[in-house]
Amino acid sequence: MQIKNITVIGAGTMGNGIAHVFAQGGYSVTIVDVNDQALQKGIETITNNLARQVKKGTLTEADSQATRSRISKQTDLAAAAKTADLIIEAATERFDLKKQIFQTLDANARPDVILASNTSSISITELAATTKRAPQVIGMHFFNPVPVMKLVEIIRGLATTDDVYKTVRELSEAVGKTPVEVNDFPGFVSNRVLMPMINEAIYCVMEGVAKPEDIDTVMKLGMAHPMGPLALADFIGLDVCLAIMNVLHEGFADTKYRPCPLLKKMVAAGMLGRKSGRGFYSY
């Protein structure tokens, strides 16, 4: 399968990062979002990140301009689906929303098009089942910030074909990423390991074991983590952390994945971390 035109759904943090990486890799990219304001914000983020690369000397000005020229924007999902060879969904982590998107893609994309999701925890098999092309549905879980982080978890649904997996793996390598094959279980590998650690750190705060900065210092200096779990939770977004913990809890029906009550309270209060200005730290 030859991939030239890529459609990315969602101009937020993950979507604009994915678009940036593929455009810099030489692919034509269309970013789709619900309105032009969201798209313009995503394009501005890409432009600023490209300028940062130029300033650091990791990218030439000519390459920066060429990258930007390969990116177009679209608010019509059905229209964007018709021109794509690969579509990567990077919308909010809600199954109902993703289901709606995948059904629209299924109805409008060419029969041979691969449909990928950047979901961090939702079942690829279940998403595939909402379409009539389950063999061509796959997970491509990128990590934030996408232009910097090398890992891509490639998640195979129950019906995903070897050809689709091979195409996506080679494509990931072509843009400088390191792909890791993962089977379809709740949370995959990354979040099945990471989120319970973050959740346990939040329990430590709730129970008064230590202050957030001290918990983070223990993990940074004692376990050589580059960022403490609570600072990382703020970076990811506490609402996203809660959504993933809910997927793990429901998917495994095991109390060890029960979201911490403090996490639920903070999300209900709108304390979502960096994006709201306050989480375990103030920004």
The pLDDT profile of the chain, 283 residues, written as one tens digit per residue, is 689 999 999 999 999 999 999 999 999 999 999 999 999 999 999 999 999 999 999 999 999 999 999 999 999 999 999 999 999 999 988 899 999 999 999 999 999 999 999 999 899 999 999 999 999 999 999 999 999 999 999 999 999 999 999 999 999 999 999 999 999 999 999 999 999 999 999 999 999 999 999 999 999 999 999 999 999 999 999 999 999 999 999 999 999 999 999 999 999 999 999 999 999 999 9
Distance of CA 236 to the CA centre of its chain: 10
Query: What would the pLDDT profile of 69-118 be if each residue is shown by its tens digit?
Result: 999 999 999 999 999 999 999 998 889 999 999 999 999 999 999 999 99
Helix axes 13-24, 61-69, angle to 10 degrees: 110
Residue type for position 74:
Q
Q: What is the pLDDT of residue 2?
A: 87
Report the mean per-residue pLDDT for the chain.
Answer: 96
245-254: burial string, b at 16+ Cβ within 10 Å, e else = bbbbbebeee
Q: What is the pLDDT of residue 193?
A: 97
Q: What is the pLDDT of residue 93?
A: 87
Whole-angstrom CA distances from 206 to 263, 279, 280 are 9, 13, 11
Separation CA 201–CA 54 (nearest Å)? 38
Q: What is the pLDDT of residue 277?
A: 97
Quickly count: other Cβ atoms within 10 Å of residue 176's Cβ.
11
Q: What is the pLDDT of residue 121?
A: 87
Query: What would the pLDDT profile of 160-178 be if each residue is shown by its tens digit?
Result: 999 999 999 999 999 999 9
Catalytic residue ranges: 120, 141, 153, 191
